Amino acid sequence: MDYQHHWKDGTPIRLPLGKIVCVGRNYADHARELNNPVPDEPLLFIKPATSAVHLTRPIRLPANRGAVHFETELAVLIGRPLTDASASDAEAAILGYGLALDLTLRDLQSRLKAKGEPWERAKAFDGACPLSPFVAADQMPRNQLTFTLDIDQQRRQSGDTRDMLNPVTTLIAHMSSYFTLLPGDVILTGTPSGVGPLATGQTLSLELQQALFVETHVVSG
C-alpha cells in the first residue's frame, strides 16, 4: 500500500490514514434509486486504510467480481482526535475536503444484503477507495459544498451538501460516538443519485466547488 494524503498543490500531509468511516444512504434520492428505505439513523460502515488508492492514478477494476459501481462522495480529512464529539468540535476538527469514489461490488453487495450479511467484501477490498488530494478547510465555504462527476464528458452525479439527510458536522459527531476518530482518518459522506457501473476505457472528471479538479481513467485489472 503506497497511499499517502496530499494537499492539492502536491505537498504531502504528514498524517497516517487509519480508517475511512462511511455512511450509506445520506441522500434520499440515492436511497430511492436503489429501492432502499431512508434510514432513521445513519447507516455506518468502515473501509480499511488498505482500500485507499490515489484517485489521480488509473482505477483498476477487480477482475471477475461482477459490476463495480462508482459512488462520488465528499471526503473529509480529520485533523484532531474526536470521541463523543459535539457538532462544533467536529467542525473544528475538519482539516480538509476532497473527493472519493466509494467503489462498490454491487452484485456481491446485493447478494450479501439479501442474506443479511455484512458488506465488507463489497466495500472494503483493496482499491475500493480512490481518494483525491485535499483542499484546506479554511479555504472552503462552511455550509454548502457542491461536487460533480462526469464520465466521458457526460454529467452523471451532482452533489450538494444541503441535500444530505445528516449534515457533515452532525454526521462526524455521530460517528465519533461509536468510533474514535484520529488525525488522518477520512469520512465519506454518502453519494447522491446517479451511481452506475464503471467500464474499462472510461475517463472520469471530478470537480469540487470550483476548487479541485481531478481526471482519472478506468483500466482493466
Q: Pick from 102, 148, 161, 186: which binds Zn ion (CB under 5 A)? A: 102
Q: Does 185 bind Zn ion (CB under 5 A)?
A: no
Among the residue ranges 98-106, 124-132, 154-162, 196-204, the one whose residues contact Zn ion (CB under 5 A):
98-106
CB of 74 to Zn ion, least distance (A): 11
Residue holding cell 465519506?
A: 188
166 is a site residue for Zn ion (CB under 5 A): no
Under 8 Å between Cβ of 196 and 70: yes
With binding defined as CB under 5 A, does residue 71 bind Zn ion?
Answer: yes
Q: Which of 191, 206, 208, 216 binds Zn ion (CB under 5 A)?
A: 191
Which region, judged by CB under 5 A, interacts with Zn ion, from 10-18, 80-88, 176-184, 189-197? 189-197
Distance CA 104, CA 56 (A): 19
Q: Which is nearer to Zn ion, 33 or 89 (CB)?
A: 33
Query: How many whole angstroms separate alpha carbon 191 and alpha carbon 75?
Result: 11
Q: What are phi and psi of 212, to 5 degrees?
A: -140, 130
Residue span binding Zn ion (CB under 5 A) among the ranges 5-13, 52-60, 141-149, 191-199: 191-199
- Interface contacts to Zn ion, rule CB under 5 A: 71, 102, 191
